Chains A and B, each alone.
Chain A
Amino acid sequence: MKQRYKWLFTGFAAGLMILGAFILFNDILQTKSASFLVVFLSPLITALFGFISGTSVEKIFSENTILKNKNKDLQKDMLEQALKLSSDINSAMEDLQNHADQMDTIVNNINSGICFIGNDYKIESGYNDSFVSIFGDKDYLGDTIMNSVFGILDSNTKTSIADYLELCFTNKTATTSMLNDANPVKEFEFVQVVDGSVVHKIITSSISIIKNTDKEVEKIMFIFDDITSENELKKELEKRDQEYKKRYSIMVALFGNDKKVIRRFISGLEEDVESLSLKIKALKQNENNSNTISDILGTVHSIKGEAFALGFEKLSKIASDFEAFFKKIKDEILGLESNLEIIGFYEKLNNEKREFDKTIKVLEEFLAEDDERNGSNKEPSSDLDLSGSVAKHLEYENVSVDLLRKELELINKTSAKETGKQAVFTLNSSVNSIDGKKYKLLKELFLHLLRNSLAHGIETPVERLQAGKDSTGHITLDILKAGNSLVLEYTDDGSGFDIEKIKKRAIENSVVSEEEIFKMGSMDILKIVFNDGFSTSDSADMVAGVGVGMSVVKKHVFKGLKGKLSLTNKPGKGIRIIITIPV
């Protein structure tokens, strides 16, 4: 509409211009009527003309605009549609790509090597990264699985694989699990050359059947797993298991499957090590040197003997070296009282102690593993835990006499073997158990008596036969409860104490003078045997000979057990020792 007025206005303006021109040329025309007509009509006519023409032009223009607009809208719509379509396609493609990427990630993140084969046995595209890492980096596409994966296998196996694959492609009845059971290469070896060296791999394989819509087998998916390292680990574990079994069988042979003996030894050893460290501390502070050293020697001597009897050779050897070493210190100290060099010896002693600790740890580990192996409920719980507190806990438990019998029999056996003598040890008891606190002392005490009997008392089989005795020696221990006392009677049928030998040694070692010895009765002479450090043996060995054993017996009886000891010596026939301790 606006357009129309524009044309009207334009027409009117054009009329005015004609009117203006007419006024300008009025003088020229000089005709009044004509001038009037022109003056009034010309703007009107031109306005009318302008209006009419303006309207039609406007009409043409407006139609054109509508058309244009329509066109524009259409274009816009189309563009929008096209854009939408393309974005749809884009997002669909993205989705697809994402999906494909995801699938790739999943397939490649599977540790199993995966490949697909068609019925020509050729490997199709889509084998994953793991497949490449198992069988080597190369292009497998179009290669047959028989050449690339099963290439190095022998011809028989290859034939059965070919048969099997044929079966997988043709069979329509069997389940996949059944087919997998029939797989001839469930586990096979793959040999590869990597950087010039040959690598053997143990691979497992399984299959999955992929059927088409006609239920015909189209592809077979092979799933491979590299179990080389697992296999090695398994082998290693089996090897270790066997080693343990071997070690265990030795233990079983030694203890008749009774781990209590070892456990008690360990808990005793813990106590010993603890007391050793206390004594060493005391030694550093220069308190009662000679007494402390005797104590240390007694403890170490017990460890040596027991460890040897139980078959812990390494521990026994450490204890033996330690003992020899300390014996040396002791002699020097007795002579020199204080010696600066002793500081160096302490260090050595500490190191030895640490060795003990290590050995204890190994033993504990072994026992713990052994328990795991056998299921831990066979033993009472207090015996399983070998921490320090348990060692103390054990003290308050009564210990069966059977255990003492077992341990002493064992000590008898190993000592007899070591000395080349024969002896039977018999223990008779009217009590079934012994107070845990006394047990360790009693065990140690009889350990030393037993070992001394075998080292000095019992003769060799030949000597015994010559003396008109049984070739096998007899050692007995009778335990009786009499009132408030426990009476322990120990006998052996050996040669008894050799008074002359003791005399000789006592003079050699300046324990007593020759004059004094002369005045002494045989009973007094026998007391020398119980002196600290006295030995009739010329050399120390695993069984006896450093002069510690009998002093330990004396110490344990009088100090530890607050008991009494009486000794009967029958030269050539044996000894009898009666120990009486309060219950």
Chain B
Amino acid sequence: MDGDDILDAPEGKTALEILNKETIDLLFVDWNMPKLNGLDLVKIVRKMEKYKDLPIIMVTSEAARYNVLEAIKAGVTDYIVKPITGMTVMEKIKAYM
């Protein structure tokens, strides 16, 4: 990793383009995104060979069990429940990188 590059995307499709072009080490995904939602994005990313073991952290406002199950099935590694703080994000970054 060259320094701590952070690439951000406003929605799923842009994220997918970036993920295709670059190779990233850790992915934070919001559940609710326009055009391509977080869950579908994760499902696609997991199918890409280079991202087989990528730590993917879902950011969600719904902590309901049903959603967690769905997220696990899609291939999410871990999740953060909104409202998120710098602390929780840093914790996750430290845990997965």
Contact = CB atoms under 8 A, between A and B. Distances in A.
Interface string A163-182: 11001000101110111011
Contacts of B65: 181-184
A181 B78 CA distance: 10
Interface in A137-188: 163-164, 167, 171, 173-175, 177-179, 181-184
B76 interface: yes
Interface in B68-82: 68-69, 71-73, 75-79
Contacts of B79: 178, 181
Interface string B44-83: 0010000001001000000101001101110111110000
A177 B78 contact: yes
Contact of B68 (A163, A173, A182): A182
Contacts of B77: 173-175, 178
A171 B78 CA distance: 13
B36 to A, nearest CB: 19
B53 to A, nearest CB: 8
B32 to A, nearest CB: 19
A164 B63 CA distance: 17
Contacts of A163: 69
Contacts of B46: 173
Contact of A182 (B53, B72, B75, B78): B72
A199 B71 CA distance: 37
A167 B73 contact: yes
A582 B22 CA distance: 93
Contacts of B53: 173
B69 A175 contact: no
Contacts of B72: 167, 171, 173-174, 178-179, 182
A153 to B, nearest CB: 16
Interface size class of B (residues with CB under 8 A): 10 to 19
Contacts of A181: 63, 65, 68, 79
Contacts of A178: 68, 71-72, 76-79
A175 B75 CA distance: 10
A183 B65 CA distance: 8
Nearest to B70: A182
Nearest to A186: B65
Interface string A119-135: 00000000000000000
A76 to B, nearest CB: 61
Contacts of A179: 72
Interface size class of A (residues with CB under 8 A): 10 to 19
A181 B67 CA distance: 10
Nearest to A215: B53
Given A182-B65, A182-B68, A184-B65, A173 B73 contact: no
A173 B56 contact: yes
A171 B65 CA distance: 17
Find the residue from B65, B72, B77, B78 having the highest chain A CB count within 10 A: B72
A569 to B, nearest CB: 73
A179 to B, nearest CB: 7
B42 to A, nearest CB: 9
A164 B68 CA distance: 11
B95 to A, nearest CB: 9
B69 A173 contact: no
B67 to A, nearest CB: 9
Contacts of A183: 65
B90 to A, nearest CB: 17
B69 A182 contact: yes
A175 B68 CA distance: 11
A164 B65 CA distance: 11
A177 B80 CA distance: 12
Nearest to A163: B69
Nearest to A180: B68
Given A173-B46, A173-B56, A164 B69 contact: yes
Contacts of A173: 46, 53, 56, 72, 75-77
B51 to A, nearest CB: 10
Nearest to B96: A175
Find the residue from A171, A174, A177 having the highest chain B CB count within 10 A: A174
Contacts of B75: 173-174
A163 B71 CA distance: 14
B19 to A, nearest CB: 16
Interface string B77-97: 111000000000000000000
A167 B76 CA distance: 12
Contacts of A175: 77-78
A171 B46 CA distance: 12
B69 to A, nearest CB: 4
A175 to B, nearest CB: 5
A163 B70 CA distance: 11
A173 B77 CA distance: 5
A389 to B, nearest CB: 49
A249 B56 CA distance: 51
Nearest to B63: A181
A342 B27 CA distance: 91
A173 B63 CA distance: 19
Contacts of A167: 69, 72-73
Nearest to B65: A182
Nearest to A178: B78
Nearest to B69: A182
A426 to B, nearest CB: 53
10 closest A-B pairs by beta carbon, nearest first, are A182-B68, A174-B72, A182-B69, A181-B68, A173-B75, A175-B78, A173-B77, A178-B78, A182-B72, A182-B65
Given A171-B73, A178-B68, A178-B77, 9 more contacts: A164-B69, A167-B69, A167-B72, A173-B75, A174-B71, A177-B78, A181-B68, A181-B79, A182-B72
Interface of B: 46, 53, 56, 63, 65, 68-69, 71-73, 75-79
5 contacts: A163-B69, A174-B72, A174-B75, A178-B71, A183-B65
